[in-house]
Amino acid sequence: MNLLHFVLIFDLDVLMGYAVTALLVAWLLNRSQGVCDAVMWAAGALHLAVIAASTLDLRMFPGADPARMGAREDGLLPAGGEGTGFSSFADSYWDMVYDRFHHLLQLRWGDEPWQMFPMTVFLFLLGVRMYRAGVFADDAKGRRIRRHLLVWGVGLGLPLAVFTELSTMDDLAMIHRYGVSAILALGYIGLAGLVLDRVRRPGPMTIGLTSLGQVALTGYVAQNLLGSVLIPALGLEALMLDAFGPWGGLGLGVAVCALLMGGSYLWLLRFSHGPAELAQKWALSKIPDRPAQGKGNPENESPAPAPRA
């Protein structure tokens, strides 16, 4: 499914990278907490080293390929950057599909997946550690931790995000995308917890976000389908930007969010899972269960006890 999403919808798909990370983390969770912590901090240190090296490279060689900075995410550059010989800005949708399929290895195994891997390992393991520490618990300890996340995550992350976003120094792009964003994400967890702790009864926003969270995989695919295929195909992006400038782009973003929240709520009134989740569940059901060690082999099974007289 991730491969189809990459080829048919969005060339910056991260699901395959998350899947590889999840396999590693699932294996690590069967090890001791000490092993998990060691891998988490090692991955975090490696990630910081990669950011530092990439930032230094961009500062020393300003003409280096900016695709490595994630500039292509903003639609400013071809998907493969300079030197790959292809562009996402093809003549038609099917030309773009062909480009993605034809240059699959270059896009999937270029710089970006390797740059993201240490970060995703660190964040996955950090999420597990936070969960076990009670960050999401509805008690005094959980609320106290969430307050700290809000103060440090937003208090430190938001000014850094604004500075690196508005800065004219292109060599800060790696820090903005792969460093500051992670700090700010922790602040968002604290902010969401603060809001929910003070909500007396769910309103439209809470219900919509909760519904979207239950079909998160579908929401991710749908936002990319809307943002990178349907909206450009209908000319809405150019129309809104020409009419309202940057505010037009913001309005489109808000409209997409509202559509996803409302659509997920209506879908869950009838179904228990989203379309992508249902497809994933069906695919997993086709994988035969592996028998546990010592079971399924008559030679390993203990003999049945003899009946009593």
Q: Domain ranges in the chain?
A: 1-122, 133-198, 204-286
Structure tokens of 103? 């240059």
Sign of CA dihedral 39, 40, 45, 50: positive
Q: For residues 186 and 149, is the Cβ–Cβ distance under 8 A?
A: yes
Q: For residues 81 and 112, is the Cβ–Cβ distance under 8 A?
A: no
Alpha helices in the chain (DSSP H): 2-8, 15-28, 33-60, 93-102, 104-108, 111-132, 140-166, 173-175, 181-198, 204-214, 216-225, 231-234, 236-244, 246-268, 275-285
Q: Tell me the pLDDT of the chain (309 aa) as tens digits.
A: 666 666 666 666 577 778 788 889 999 999 999 999 999 999 999 999 988 888 888 777 765 544 444 444 444 344 444 444 444 444 566 777 777 777 766 666 655 667 788 999 999 999 999 999 999 998 999 999 999 999 999 999 999 988 888 876 777 888 888 889 999 999 999 998 888 888 778 888 889 989 999 999 889 888 888 877 777 767 777 777 777 777 877 888 889 999 999 999 999 999 999 988 888 888 888 888 766 555 444 444 444 455 444
Q: DSSP letters of 24-71? A: HHHHHTTS-HHHHHHHHHHHHHHHHHHHHHHHHHHHH-TTS-GGGGTG
Q: Residue 301: CB partners within 8 Å, gap ≥ 6? A: 294, 295
Predicted TM-score of the model (pTM):
0.71
